[in-house]
Structures are given as structure tokens and as C-alpha cells.
Amino acid sequence: MNLENLLDFSNPESFATLLRIVVVVLVAAAYGLFVGAIPGLTATMAVALVIPFTFFLDPISALAAIVTLEATAIFAGDIPSTLVRIPGTPSSAAYTDDAYALTERGEAGRSLGVSLLFSVFGGIFGGLVLMMAAPALAKIAVLFTTYEYFWLAILGLSSAAIVARGSLMKGLFSLLLGLLISTVGLDEVHGLARITFGVSDLAGGINFIPAMIGLFGLSEVLRNVLRPEAVHGRRQSTSESILGAGFRLMKKRFAHMLRSSGVGTLIGILPGAGADIAAWVSFAVSKKISKRPEKYGKGSLEGIGDATAANNSALAGAWVPALVFGIPGDSVTAIVIGVLIMKGLQPGPAIFEKTPEILYAVYATFILANLFLIPLGYLAIRLGKHIVRVPRRFLLPTIVVFCVVGSYAINNSIFDVGLMLGMGLLGFGLERYGFPVGPVVLGIVLGPMVEKNLMFSLIKSGGHYGEFFTRPVAGVLGVVTILLWVTPLVIRLRRRGLSRTSS
Amino acid sequence: MLRDTFYFLVAALVLLNGCANEEPGYPSRPISVLCPWAVGGGTDTCSRIFAAELERETGVPVNVINRIGGGGVTGHSAGARANPDGYTVLTITTEITMMHWRGLTDVSYRDYTPLCLFNRDAAALIVRGDAPWKNLKELRDHIESHPGELRASGTALGGIWHLGCIGALLAMDFSSDFVVWVPSHGAAPAMQELLSGGIHIVCCSLPEARSLLESGDAKALGVMAEERVAQFPDVPTLREQGVDWALGGWRGFALPRSAPPEVVAKVREVVSRVAGGESFQEFLRTSGFGVSFEDADAFANTLERDDRTSGRLIEKSLKGPSDEDQKVPGPWFFPLVLASGLVLLGFGLASTTRGEELERGAPTRQGKGVFVAVLAAVILYVVLAQGLGFLVTAALILFVLSKTLGAGVRASVLLAVTVSPAIYLLFSKVLRVPLPEGIISW
């Protein structure tokens, strides 16, 4: 069965298949929205929770369910991120501050409308790329080894410096703090426990999800309660249209949307980087070339759109190496490979030749799921928006309980609840003195990637640093990264020098 | 007043609903399967399918809990400390016989009571499809004439595939540093490194490499099994090629050692029935996991034997600094660089800015009160949740916080008795992510 047959409605068998996909997609979309919107439960968790069901489903339905779950969950992560400043999934962390700033200005609907439509576009873009160029693009994934990933991680760190609003020094301070936090736990290269103070719960390192919930969510609660309610009362503009703002921005920024989706897909293809990193990088690129960079971090719809298009497009990108080589591009596609094998479908070139109908179903679902996301996401936003109207005396206690449950759920660990509290206090303290928390989160994400790829590379090369530049892709990435770090410093120093001589 | 009493009564009824005390045989309430590896991995998938089968068999809900990190240390330690009442079944993996030898933890296989083993996958030596070696002998000759040149990967340092590689080298009368081990996050990134030319050999199980073996991008030179693997009849064993060595990774189920014998007997019966049952075995077979079932006694022998083997290999190879270690920055290099950076920046910031607080408007007295209340609430949860359970603790938190924020008694109670059960239902029943049960559960 090929794509034309699948869309040939006169053929009853293919019509039944299509109908089945539609039903599966609808159910999975509702479930994915739900799980993604709950802080602490990631898209991976949403997919893992349905593994037992995939055992009984036919392969096409199983894959359709997984595609839909991840697409909807990643968007849904934006909802709590925007409304209560708790990223629903790690992929929303890059633009949480922007989205929440808009909510505080009473523009939650606009922000979420942009999130929704740009997510849908990014998702469909990624799906189309997967459909048209998977085998060719898979070769890119193979160009990347530990040397390249090291540079990619450093490049990712530079995005923190770009993203940091206000003082660059404070942004860097936050970033270093995040990186340092990421070194807690068992060092994989030497097998030594670092900064764990003998606590066995710390041997596994600082768990990222509770850290994120504490830094963003709980710290906001703490900040919020110190303010009197009258000041806090958020303005609500009732006449705002959810989708209108999104469509207008899409029209205005079509080229940017295309670029962001491209960046996202490309990062998704790399097995060592996923949707969360895609969002950070795309946000940074967006700010770097923006004419109004000062608005980023304070409620920039442009930044939100570009980042959210990237994280959804990265999802399809991750399927590229998974389908072509059987190497998962992210944790969801790791599950996908397991499901494929369970159904007797070994990923690899053979799957493209022997069972193309499976792939057509995946492509079709990427597009279908994202189209369904428009009405369902719209409904979710309409429902979610009411949260803002709940009086503070009921809303804040509920948020605190969600912070607690969200940090507990992913690892079933009371220790993580305490960790979330500590991170909440840290985030509160940092923000009180003007240090942004976003770079801390980025540091925790990228720290292991920087360190491990550096160490693994040095073990490979026998301690020689040359190979960080002699491999072609690594060389280009390395030079770009170094320029990106050095140029602004040079310009700054020169400017300072000039202003000093003139005064 | 009457109304208040009514609300409290409703609250009590809602919370006590289903709080039954009778204990009619095992299992009579939800079971958790504790998985020491991350969501989405092979062990997690096995645990989840097993949980679904166990649920079908017993009729009680079975949820999977992941305790991850530290190369399995966190999850296995948590397992050894778990409640031994038989309602937490532990998935354990080969790493339990290795971690304590490397000094990562005190927990060893002796801290568990084995139930059964359900999967075993032999290690295999895999090279690029276009590699110059056609068989193990050619690879062996190359290693002999170029010691220390080849790089191998497949898992973290000291992981099961690393030990497989070391064992094979020792069985060939080489020293363990004749091939340099590059740590990786599992077989998949190692296969990617192999394709991109970063390393020469991958040591992992055959199913993990299947896609690339079938496409011809990689080839297997030998498998470390007693006999050829059924799904890969063309891959010869190491023994066939004159290298006397076999090693595999396994997965199994266990209880904490402190579980009383009558509990062990009951759980062992149910778990073995499901794990050895046709449906679960069928899943393992179709998913490419090596099917191998050992009952508790055989599993106990396996644990003891593997523990000795791991000890021998680790003593011989991973103790003491090797040459490679000196070429690579030490474990404190990265944290120290970061810490010095932080200190420098801190000084820089302290000299330019003087503690400017950004928040405008002094906090109100009530505000400070709530601030402390929020902190207290989370601490309260940390201390009480395991004992009291989620329902009661969360209700308490909701009540106290909304009261502190100025809500009336009735409204606060209403919030507590609606939101707490709603969240509990959402997580435990709808999403199947268990929350602490404590004194009240249903």
C-alpha cells in the first residue's frame, strides 16, 4: 500500500486504515496534551506509559499513537510554562520567562496562540523533511562524533550568553552555576562520586526535572507571595483572540519560522541532541538576528514562536537516524525502535523497501497529529486560561502541590522533592539579585554533554587536542564557536577602550 | 457551624473511602515494579510489559517506577532498601554484580532475594562492515601487532560490555589495555561512533546492533556465548574461534533480602508464573531480547558466579591508574574549572555592583508569613508523605496554605478535599504514576 492508495477513499480497506489512524490520533492527542501539561511528566513519560498498549495494537496504530503523543505533549508543555511558569516538559524551558512575562501582562492567550500555531508548523515541517529526505539526511548524523558534539555543546552554551538578558556577567555566573550543579554525582569517566557528600541519592546526579520545577515554578511562587495581592492581580484582556495573534505573526515571520523549523529538524537528527536543545539554540539564533533583541526574555512573541517551532520540528528529526540506522535520535525514538522490533520490523534500509506503508503511516500521522493539534490545542488553551482567573489563595497552594508531585513523580523519590525546594530557594535568591535562572537550567542540561564529550574524545585521541580541529565538521564548528565567543568580547573591550580615551 | 461539620464529614468520607484493612492473600493491592534504568530503555520496556502481564494475571494495578542515575547505583540501592512486603518487585540487572567491586556502592547481590531471571544477551564483538578483518583471528593478529591502537566502546566504563571486552582480551593472552575502552552512553551512541569512524570495535549484544548488521554497515566477528545465538546463526562464538570466553548481560526480578520467607514464596510463585508465561516470553522473543528463564535457585547461582567473574576482571583491569588516565584530565578538572570561573565572576560582580535588590516594594508582613508557610509545606511533605501518604499530606498542605493566604476555613477545607484526591486519582489511577500511599489508599 502506498500513499496514494492510503488516500484513495474508494478503496474500503485503506479507508478503514485511515479511519483507524484518525481515531488513534484523536485519543492519543487528548492524552498527550494532558500528560504534557502536567509538570514533571515529559513527552518520553507519555510514550512510556502507553508501551503496554502498543503490545496489543497493530504496528500502524502503535506508531501513530507515539507520533501523536510526542507532538501534542511537547506543545502542551507550553501551557503550564506560560500560565504558572512551570515548564510542562524540558523543551519549554528556553522561553518560559518570555511566555510567563506575557501572562503577567494579561496576554497569555496571545502567547499560547503563537505557541500552538508555530508548534503545528514546526511539527509539519519536520514531518515533511522526514518524508522527503530521511535516508540522505541520516548521513549527517553519522558525521557527528564526540568531537563534534563537544563543539555543539559549547555552541549551545554560547546561546546562554546570548539569551541572558541584562548583565552578561550575571548570565555567565548563572550558566557556570548550572554547569557546576551538573557535575554532581558519579563521574562516568573515572567512576568517582563527586560533590555527593556521601548521600546515595546524589550519586545519580542532580535530577533535571525537579531542578527545573524548583528554579522556575517554586521560585515564582515564593516571589509571588511576598507581593501584596493587589499588585499581583494580573490584568486580563478579554477581547484577545488566541489564534489571530498566531496567524498574524506567522504571516509576518514566515521566513523566520522556516529557518527555526530547519534548525530544529537538523538538531533533532543528531542523536546526541533533542527538542530541548533545539529550542535553546533556535531562541538564541532568533535573538541574535532580531532587530529588537532587548525584548527577548521579557515577553517576546518572536522568540517564543521561533523556539517552539524548533522543538516540535526536532521530534520528526529524531526519527531520521532511528529509522535509517536503528540509532535513536532521542529517548522517544528509543522506545519507537523497541516497538518496531516488537512488531517484527527491524529499522534500517530494509524498512524503507519492504514495508513502506509503515513509513507512510508515520509521515501521515506527523501531519495529521499536528493538524488535529490546532482544534484540540485551542480547546486546551481555552480551558487552561481559566487558571489565571483562579484567586491566588486557591491557585498558589495548588501550584505548590503540583511542584511537589511533579518533582516526585518522574523518579518516585522524596529526595527530589527536597531538591526541588532547594532549587526553588536558589532560583528565588538568584532572581532577587538580577541573575537569570534560564542559564542555570541550560547549564544543567549541557554540562554532561560538554564534559563527557571532552573526556571521551580525549580518551579516543590518546590525550591529543588536535582532533578537535582536524576533523572537518569539528573544525568548522570549533572555529565558529570560538569566533562567537571572542568577537563580542573584542568589540566590547574596544568600545570600552574608546569610551575611556574619549572621556 | 453545622455546615462546617458537614464539610468535614464529607472530607472524612471521601478520604476514608476504600481504606479497607482485610488482607486476603497476595496480591490484594497495587504492586510497583522498580526499574533501575531510564524510561524508554530495554530494561524499562521489559519492566513495563511485565507489569502489564502481571496486572492481567493478578487483577491488581501494577505500576513501573524508574529510579535512575549513577550507572544503576541509585536504582539498585533504592531496591535493596525498598519495603520488603512483596508489593515492590525489583528489576535487577547484571550491573549489580559489578558496582560494588568498583567501590561505587556497598550494595551487592547479597542484598536481594532472587525471584527469577528472564533474559540473557551475550556480548559480541562488532566492527565496521568495511573493516579489514574478516574474522576474530585477523582482529586478534592486528591487536597483537598494534597494542593500544584500537578503540572500543559499547557502554560506560566498567559496564557489562566493557567487562566482556576485557575478558575476551585476557582470554587471548593480551593485557586489558591492548584495546582502549572509550566510555559511551550505551550501545546506540557506540554504534554511531563506529559508523563515523571514531572507534574500531563495538562490544554489545547482537540485537542491539541488528539494524546495522542487516544493512551491512557493521559485521559481527564473534559472540561470547556458549553456543551460537538462534536469531544470528551466522555469527560464530569466540570458543569456535579458539578463544575460551563467554559473557552475557541478564535481567531478572528480585525482592529486598529482608523480605520474610512466606512473602517471598507467594511473590516468587506469581512472578515466575508471569515471567515464564507464554505471553511475556513471546514479547521477549519478538522484541529481540534473548529469552532465558532461570528459577530462583539457578538465578542465585548465576548471581554468585557472575559476581566472582566481575570481581576477577575488575581487579585485573580497572584498579589503579592506567596510562590512559594520565593523558585525560582527572575527575575534578571540570568542576574545578567551573568553580574558579564562578569565584572570578563573583569577585568581578561584587566589585561592580553592590547587592542591588531588584524587587521593588517591601514585602508585606503577611507575605513573609506565606513565604515561610510555602517552605514549611514542602518540608512537611518531605517528612510526612511516606508515612501519611499523599492524600493526607497534600490535603494538609492545601488547607494550611490557602488559610495562610487569607481563604476562609470552609473554602480551605473544600480546596483540600477536592484537589488532593483529584491529583491523587489523576496520577495513580489515570496516569498510573504511583504516589505515596501511606495510611489511606484506594
The H helix count followed by the E strand count for chain A is: 25, 2
Q: Where are the domains of chain A?
A: 3-470, 472-503
Cβ–Cβ contact A205 with B under 8 A: yes
Provide the 10 A C-beta neighbour count for residue B13. 10
Provide the 10 A C-beta neighbour count for residue A38. 27
Q: Please count the residue pairs, one from chain A and one from chain B, whose beta carbons lie less than 8 angstroms apart.
A: 338
pLDDT band at A485 (very low <50, low <70, confident <90, very high): confident
**How many Å apart are CA A341 and CA A332, to the nearest integer?**
15
Mean pLDDT, residues A286-311: 92
Mean pLDDT, residues B49-53: 94
Instruction: Show residues of chain B in contact with A413, CB under 8 Å.
Output: 67, 78
- The cell 516470553 sits on which residue? B281
User: What are the Cα distances from residue A496, in Å, to A482, A491, A499, A503?
Assistant: 21, 8, 5, 11
Q: Which residues contact A480 (CB under 8 A, 6 or more apart)?
A: A155
Local structure of A247: helix, strand or coil: helix
Instruction: Show residues of chain B in contact with A338, CB under 8 Å.
Output: 40, 42, 45, 287
Q: Which of A231, A245, A236 is nearest to A105 (CA)?
A: A236
Q: Which grid coordinates belong to B337?
A: 574549572
Residue pair A468/A478 in contact by the 8 Å Cβ criterion = yes
Residue pair B154/B202 in contact by the 8 Å Cβ criterion = yes
Q: How many CA atoms lie within 13 A of B217 on its CB side?
A: 22
Q: Which residues pair with B124 in a beta bridge?
A: B204, B223
Check if B29-120+249-317 and B121-248 are the same fold: yes
Cβ–Cβ contact A452 with B under 8 A: yes
pLDDT tens figures, B207-223: 889 889 999 999 999 99
Sign of CA dihedral A63, A370, A333, A182: negative
**How many Å apart are CA B202 and CA B191, to the nearest integer?**
7
Q: Give residue A233's pLDDT.
A: 45
Q: Which of B228, B211, B216 is nearest to B288 (CA)?
A: B211
| CB-count burial class (<10 Å; 0-12, 13-18, 19+) for A209 | buried
Residue pair A218/A421 in contact by the 8 Å Cβ criterion = yes
**How many Å apart are CA A9 and CA A26, to the nearest integer?**
20
Local structure of B222: helix, strand or coil: strand
**How many Å apart are CA A111 and CA A82, to the nearest integer?**
8
Mean pLDDT, residues B224-243: 94
Instruction: Show residues of chain A in contact with B405, CB under 8 Å.
Output: 225, 392-393, 396-397
**How many Å apart are CA B111 and CA B254, to the nearest integer?**
10
Mean pLDDT, residues A101-117: 93
Q: Which grid coordinates belong to A96?
A: 518560559
Mean pLDDT, residues B357-374: 76
Query: B214 and A348 in contact by Cβ < 8 A?
Result: yes
Query: B73 and A203 in contact by Cβ < 8 A?
Result: yes
CA angle A94, A98, A104 (to 5 degrees): 140
Q: Give residue B73's pLDDT.
A: 86
Domain B121-248 is in which class? alpha beta
Residue pair B171/B238 in contact by the 8 Å Cβ criterion = yes
**How many Å apart are CA B6 and CA B10, to the nearest integer?**
6
Q: Which grid coordinates belong to B120?
A: 540473557
Residue in A176, A327, A392 nearest the CB of B192: A327
Name the architecture of domain B29-120+249-317.
3-Layer(aba) Sandwich (3.40)
Q: Which of A411, A49, A331 is nearest to B41 (CA)?
A: A331
The pTM score is 0.88
Instruction: Show residues of chain B in contact with A45, CB under 8 Å.
Output: 39, 433
Q: Give residue A231's pLDDT.
A: 43
Torsion of CA A372, A375, A378, A382, to 10 degrees: -130
pLDDT band at A143 (very low <50, low <70, confident <90, very high): confident
pLDDT tens figures, A192-240: 788 888 787 788 889 889 999 999 999 999 998 887 765 444 555 545 6
Local structure of A48: helix, strand or coil: helix
Mean pLDDT, residues A142-160: 87
Q: Where are the domains of chain B?
A: 29-120+249-317, 121-248, 365-430
Q: Give residue A26's pLDDT.
A: 95
Q: Give residue A155's pLDDT.
A: 87
Q: Which residues pair with B181 in a beta bridge?
A: B152
Q: Give residue A317's pLDDT.
A: 95
Interface test with A, best of B291, B317, B328 (most A CBs within 10 A): B328
User: What are the Cα distances from residue B332, in Å, to A182, A192, B156, B183, B339?
Assistant: 13, 9, 18, 18, 10
Comparing alpha-carbon positions, the chain B residue that sits nearest to A142 is B196
pLDDT tens figures, A408-428: 987 888 999 999 999 999 999
Residue pair B29/B60 in contact by the 8 Å Cβ criterion = yes
Q: Give residue B149's pLDDT.
A: 93
**How many Å apart are CA B20 and CA A116, to the nearest integer?**
45
Q: Which grid coordinates belong to B383?
A: 517528612
Mean pLDDT, residues A387-407: 92
- What are the percentages of helix, strand and coil residues in chain A, rounded to 5? 80, 0, 20
What DSSP designation does B182 have?
Answer: P
Interface test with A, best of B162, B182, B354, B368 (most A CBs within 10 A): B182
Q: Which residues contact A7 (CB under 8 A, 6 or more apart)?
A: A14, A18
pLDDT value at A499 more than 80: no
